[in-house]
Amino acid sequence: MTKPTDRVALVTGSSRGIGRAIALRLAADGAKVVVNYRSDAEAADSVVATIVAAGGHAVAIGADVAAGADAERLVTATHHHFGRLDILVNNAGITRDGLLMKMKDDDWDDVLATNLRSVFLVSRAAVRPMLRQRSGRIVNVTSIAGLGGNAGQTNYAAAKAGIVGFTKSLAKEVGARGITVNAVAPGYIVTDLTRDLPAALLQDVLRLTPLGRLGTVEDAAAAVAFLSSDDAAFITGQVLRVDGGMVI
């Protein structure tokens, strides 16, 4: 069994938000971390600097994970820098909200590519070395929107629901080789995307959340860290909701 301090983690879309918190948490737990970004190199470098300042090991690698060649290059670069890959967190995601009747083709295609196609591409590249080493953890970040739907987010909800099916299917494919595949489904988390919610919507969210608050990026990161750990060695094909009880 690989020791926590020897583990290598790749977190897609980890220059900000939930991805950033996941990268910091896995590094704090002893993993060497690849911080992936698509366009904001400065933000990714800041995450790396924070990890290194705390005594950890990290590197930033730019790649568009919705593009096949980039996904392959990202996994290859991870092995080049750290020699192995133990944990893959598919976190990269975008929103292009709008009612279906007004949704543009590009708004559908871009969200499905970034949020779902990337999970397929990066997982396919990462599974090969994990199969050879007969161990690995894949954690996919979905959403409660993928479980219960959300008006104005047909594209986003479809992509996130697709991640759930992908997670369960891949878990059945690779379990015999010691690889677990799980998903985390955050609810309303305080990020740049939710910070400017209308007051009325925020009150509705809080009313429907038994714990009475929005989640933090650290809440989501803690769930990912657990599913990435040896403590979750007998858990696979599961979707862990991190939503304060909003979807029960």
Q: What one-character-per-residue DSSP string does 146-200 give?
A: HHH--TT-HHHHHHHHHHHHHHHHHHHHHGGGTEEEEEEEE-SB-STTTTT--HH
* Cα–Cα nearest to 10, from 115, 114, 68, 80: 80
Active-site residue, selected from the candidate residues 156, 217, 227, 242: 156
Asked if 224 and 22 count as a contact pair (C-beta separation under 8 A), the reply is yes
Could you tell me where the beta strands, DSSP code E, fall in 21-146?
A: 32-37, 58-62, 87-90, 136-141
Q: Phi, psi (5° rounding) for residue 103?
A: -75, 130
User: Residue 37 catalytic?
Assistant: no
- Cα distances (Å, whole numbers) of residue 212 to 46, 149, 220, 244: 32, 21, 16, 8
- Cα distances (Å, whole numbers) of residue 63 to 12, 103, 110, 139, 213: 9, 27, 16, 19, 34
d(CA 248, CA 238): 15
How many other C-beta atoms are found inside a 10 Å radius of the C-beta of residue 39?
A: 10
d(CA 162, CA 192): 24
Catalytic residues: 156
